[in-house]
Amino acid sequence: MLIHLPMLSAAASETLPRFTLGRVFTDWGIDPIPFVVTVWATGLYLLGVAALRRRGDRWPVGRTLAFVGLGMGSFLVATSSGLGRYDTTLLSVHMVQHMVLSMVVPLALALGAPVTLALRTLPAAPRRWLLALLHSRVAKVLAFPPLAFVLYVASPWALYFSSWYDASLGSAFVHQMMHVHLVLVGTLFFWPLMGIDPVPGRVGYPFRVLLTIMTLPFHAFLGVTIMGQTTLIGGEHYLALREGPMGAWLPPALDDQHLAGGILWASGDLVGVLFFAVLFTQWVRQSMREASREDRRLDLAERREAGLPGAGGSRPGA
C-alpha cells in the first residue's frame, strides 16, 4: 500500500504504475482537506448518536449507515483511494470521482438526517443558532429549488469549460476544494429533494420528481459534448504526462476524454434511477402514513357520532 500526499502539475513527472481496477482498492493516500472533513463529520455524527443512546433514545441504524458508511465512506474512497491517486492522471478516473462526489455522497448524507440529529442532541444555545441558520434568508435563498437546480447543472459546465479545471490540476488546494465544492453543490440540490431533515426548500413529491428528471438531460448533454470534443480538457497537463515515462501505458488523451464523457453520460442516468427509487419509496411511505392518519381520523369521527367510549367526548345522556 502506497501512502502519498497529492502532487499535481508541478509534479507531473511523478511516475505511477499502470492504472487497474485493483489499484482503486490498494493504492491509498491522504488529501488533507477531505480527510479532515471526513474525520470531523463522522466523529460529530457518531457523538450525536452516542448522546441519544445514553439518554435512552433510539436513532435508526439505517441513517447511521447512510451517513457514515455510504456518505462519508464514499467521500473518503473518492478522495483517498486509487480514484484520488489517479484523478489527475486520467480524466476518465476523475469523472468517476466527480459522479461519486456530486451525486452518491449528497444523497447518502441527506438520508442520514444529520440536521435532525443535531437538533435532538445539541445544547440549547447551539440548537437556537442552528434553527436561526435554517430559517435565515441566506439558507432560504440557497435552498430555493430553481436556484439550487441552476447551480447544480451549471457547475460541471463551468468546471470543464473554463480555467477552473486547469487551476485544479495546478494547485493541490484548488483541487481539494473542488472536491468539497462538488459535494456542497450536490447537497444544496438534493438535500431538500431526498432528505428528511427540516431544511428550507422542501417541495411536494411531484415537483421533486420533476426536478430530478430535469437533471438527466443536462448530464447526458454534457457527457455527449465532452465525447464529441476535439479540444482537450486540461490538455497541457495531460499531454505533458504522456511525454514522460507514463506515456508507455497512458491511452491517447483524446480517447481518455471520450471515455470520460461516456462515463458522465451513463453514470448520470444510472444514479438517476437510484434517486427515483429513493423518491418513490419515500413518496409511498408518506402516502401510507397519510392514509393511516386519515383512517384514524374517520374512525374517531364515527366513534364520536356513535357515542362510543374512547371517542374523546361524552356519551349521549351523560
**pLDDT score for 188:** 86
As a whole number of angstroms, the distance between CA 271 and CA 264 comes to 10
Of residues 311 and 289, the one with the higher pLDDT is 289
What integer pLDDT is reported at residue 13 of this predicted model?
46
Q: Write the pLDDT tens digit of every residue in 200-259.
A: 766 677 777 777 777 777 878 888 899 988 889 988 999 999 888 888 899 999 999 999
Please tell me the distance from the alpha carbon of residue 28 to that of residue 77, in angstroms, as a whole number. 9
With bands split at pLDDT 50, 70 and 90, how would you rate the model's confidence at 150?
confident
Residue 310 has pLDDT above 60, yes or no: no
pLDDT surpasses 90 at 92: yes
pLDDT for 10? 41
Compute how many other C-beta atoms are within 10 angstroms of the C-beta atom of residue 6: 20
CA 208 – CA 206 distance, rounded (Å): 5
Q: Return the pLDDT at 153.
A: 87
Q: Radius of gyration of the chain from Cα atoms?
A: 24
Closest CA relative to residue 65, chosen from 81, 49, 78: 49
